[in-house]
């Protein structure tokens, strides 16, 4: 007990020290120009990109989750991909001017960002969060998952060193090494913390939202994948198997169940089997359910990000070597069917529905059971069906004819490249966007008077002259003469000739 208590105290103290240091550095960073900020961010993005492979390997070795080469690709997205998406966004000084409205917009940072990274995507999330925070002239202190503190510490160290070499104040980018729940809580609720980025499990996201700070919380995504009778079945099968096996399915927008339109279901199954999908029987599905989830419905962390063969060994069932994913036919959604939950591993549910309306209803069942506001994948050529899904589904990412794992984060779609995916109000979040630098940027507005106040709002005897010059070109001659007469009369009333 005393050792845990000491560890918690060390973690709390580290959080306070890093926040204080970051706050001081961020006040210095306020004076940086756009060019200086961009030089720092580019240096950090380049350093993270160059270390992508090593960091991916470290993340896999430390957590035991996923596939090293796929983690490398995610690190490359989080570094170069994210930087290329934000490099031309202005965040310093005057951002926009609207002369017609008399408004000038000025960029302003939020302050110190407390960012929590998950064990499933540790280094890529940290790289992404650091770049989008610093681009908006914020400081950031990262709190990695306790099982991923070494790889996250290495990523933060490399980025901080590169940024400081480019002129960034020391301490602007920090990362906790003595990680504990009390330490993470101290980081989030510290008086100098301005905003929280929380990517991970439901408990952590709820904790972030309870701190009395603005928080971007990203919860679970129980993502359904509907395959319509109008779909290219071969293409759909290829994308589904590839996506579900990518990094052993640890990205929260990865497909969790296929909902197959009945006329194409048999063909889709056959093509998925050809590509490495192993369909389990009911007894094997029950064994997998007991392996993936505890009786209370909580996910077994040992099952996360594992290959089918590893899951088979854990469940005591035989899985062929060629299997890339496991598929369990299901007929209901809810607590009585554990495999209808989000599965952060290579197990996919399978439903059949006759027609897109029935498929739509099944998808909504899944979303409401555990993925409100997150994402949905649809494979179809019928634009009316696609738009019907877009209009009806309570999600903020509808991914069409692409991989859920990569389409959601902006690799194969035009969405903003991001490792932090908002689930909107319906999902308990303040944004449904892919979170980027503009979400960590405040806007100051300089607003000039462009219309004279109503006469009834002025004290008796006050001048009613417009305080902003009028553009004569905007008035017709009669209106212009009327304005001039009113000005002359007002001047005369005050004894000015």
Question: How many Cα atoms within 13 Å fall on the side-chain side of residue 280?
Answer: 29
Query: What CA dihedral angle connects 333, 337, 342 and 347, to 10 degrees?
Result: -120
CA distance 480 to 457: 24
Look up residue 158 and give its DSSP letter.
H
Residue found by looking up tokens 């040992």 in the block: 302
Find the helix packing angle between 34-50 and 52-63, rounded to 10°: 60
Look up residue 298 and give its DSSP letter.
-
Q: How many residues does the chain have?
A: 497
Identified catalytic residue from 41, 225, 252, 363: 252
Q: 240: alpha, beta or left, given left = phi > 0 and alpha = psi -120 to 50?
A: alpha
CA distance 227 to 233: 8
3-state secondary structure of 121: coil
Query: What CA dihedral angle connects 78, 83, 89 and 91, to 10 degrees?
Result: 80
3-state secondary structure of 334: strand
Query: What CA dihedral angle connects 141, 144, 149 and 155, to 10 degrees?
Result: -60
Could you tell me the CA-to-CA distances from 70 to 56, 65, 185, 347 in Å, in that order? 8, 11, 31, 18
CA distance 225 to 274: 19
3-state secondary structure of 281: coil
Phi, psi of 15 (to 5 degrees): -60, -45
CA distance 347 to 286: 12
Helix ranges (DSSP H) in 334-457: 356-370, 383-392, 404-407
Residue of 196, 132, 185, 136 whose CA lies nearest to 159: 132
Q: Is 363 a catalytic residue?
A: no
3-state secondary structure of 469: coil
CA distance 35 to 166: 11
Residue of 265, 234, 64, 74 whose CA lies nearest to 145: 64
CA distance 243 to 245: 5
Active site residues: 252
């Amino acid at each position: 007990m005393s050792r845990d208590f000491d560890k918690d105290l060390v973690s709390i103290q580290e959080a306070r020290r890093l926040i204080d240091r970051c706050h001081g550095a961020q006040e210095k960073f306020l004076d940086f120009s756009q060019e200086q900020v961009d030089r720092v961010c580019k240096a950090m993005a380049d350093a993270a990109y160059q270390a992508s492979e090593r960091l991916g390997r470290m993340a896999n070795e430390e957590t035991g989750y996923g596939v090293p080469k796929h983690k490398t690709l995610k690190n490359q997205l989080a570094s170069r991909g994210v930087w290329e998406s934000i490099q031309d966004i202005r965040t310093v000084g005057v951002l926009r001017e609207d002369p017609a409205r008399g408004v000038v917009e000025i960029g302003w940072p939020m302050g110190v960002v407390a960012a929590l990274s998950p064990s499933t995507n540790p280094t890529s999330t940290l790289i992404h969060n650091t770049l989008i925070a610093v681009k908006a002239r914020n400081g950031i202190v990262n709190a990695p998952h306790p099982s991923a503190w070494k790889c996250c510490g290495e990523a933060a160290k490399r980025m901080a060193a590169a940024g400081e070499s480019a002129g960034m104040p020391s301490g602007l980018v920090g990362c906790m090494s003595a990680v504990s729940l009390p330490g993470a809580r101290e980081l989030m609720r510290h008086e100098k913390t301005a905003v929280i980025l929380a990517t991970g499990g439901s408990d952590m996201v709820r904790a972030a939202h309870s701190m009395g700070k603005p928080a971007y919380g990203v919860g679970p995504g129980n993502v359904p994948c509907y395959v319509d009778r109008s779909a290219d079945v071969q293409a759909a099968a290829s994308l589904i198997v590839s996506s579900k096996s990518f990094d052993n399915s640890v990205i929260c927008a990865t497909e969790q169940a296929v909902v197959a339109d009945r006329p194409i279901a048999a063909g889709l199954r056959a093509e998925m089997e050809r590509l490495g999908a192993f369909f389990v029987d009911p007894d094997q599905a029950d064994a997998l359910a007991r392996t993936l989830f505890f009786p209370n419905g909580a996910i077994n962390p040992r099952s996360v990000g594992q290959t089918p063969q590893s899951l088979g060994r854990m469940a005591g069932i035989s899985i062929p070597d060629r299997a890339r994913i496991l598929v369990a036919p299901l007929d209901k959604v809810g607590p009585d069917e554990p495999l209808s939950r989000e599965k952060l591993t290579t197990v996919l549910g399978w439903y059949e529905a006759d027609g897109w309306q029935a498929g739509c209803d099944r998808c909504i069942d899944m979303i409401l059971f555990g993925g409100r506001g997150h994402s949905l994948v649809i494979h179809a050529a019928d634009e009316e069906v696609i738009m019907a899904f877009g209009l009806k589904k309570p999600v903020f990412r509808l991914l069409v004819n692409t991989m859920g794992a990569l389409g959601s984060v902006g690799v194969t779609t035009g969405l903003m490249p991001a490792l932090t995916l908002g689930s909107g109000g319906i999902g308990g979040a303040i944004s449904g966007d892919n979170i980027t630098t503009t979400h960590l940027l405040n806007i100051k507005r300089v607003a000039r008077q462009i219309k004279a106040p109503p006469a009834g709002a002025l004290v008796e005897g006050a001048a009613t002259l417009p305080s902003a010059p009028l553009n004569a070109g905007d008035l017709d001659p009669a209106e212009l003469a009327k304005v001039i007469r009113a000005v002359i009369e007002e001047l005369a009333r005050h004894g000015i000739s």
